[in-house]
């Protein structure tokens, strides 16, 4: 839902998506766990990544799983989009 608002030709939408994604990251991981390196990664993902890659990244950080394990779970569970509560 957040990424649907992204328009790569409009810097204002990129900024909006970045702030929304950072807010989601703080909620999902709790603020102290979102260190500077992860914030930088989310800023990059907000600009260039597909929604599935963003979901995978947040899942791997939250559950402390390697990316490969999260990909396998997505394929087995047929997860296309995950909504964070």
Per-residue pLDDT tens over the stretch 56-72: 899 899 888 899 988 88
Top-confidence residue, 79 or 45: 45
pTM of the model: 0.79
What percent of the chain is modeled with pLDDT above 70?
Answer: 91
Query: Which of 12, 85, 83 has its CA nearest to residue 47?
Result: 12
Q: What is the mean pLDDT of the chain?
A: 85
* Helix and strand element counts for the chain (H, E): 4, 0
Give residue limits of the domains in the chain.
3-77
User: Could you give the C-alpha distances from 60 to 6, 7, 43, 57, 67, in angstroms and in order?
Assistant: 23, 26, 17, 5, 6
pLDDT value at 85 more than 50: no
């Amino acid at each position: 839902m957040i990424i649907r608002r992204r328009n790569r030709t409009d810097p204002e939408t990129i900024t909006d998506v970045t702030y929304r994604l950072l807010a989601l990251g703080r909620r999902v991981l709790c603020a102290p766990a979102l260190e500077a390196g992860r914030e930088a990664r989310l800023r990059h993902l907000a600009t260039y990544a597909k929604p599935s890659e963003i979901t995978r990244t947040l899942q791997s950080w939250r559950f402390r799983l390697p990316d490969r394990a999260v990909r396998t779970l997505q394929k087995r569970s047929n997860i296309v989009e995950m909504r964070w509560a």
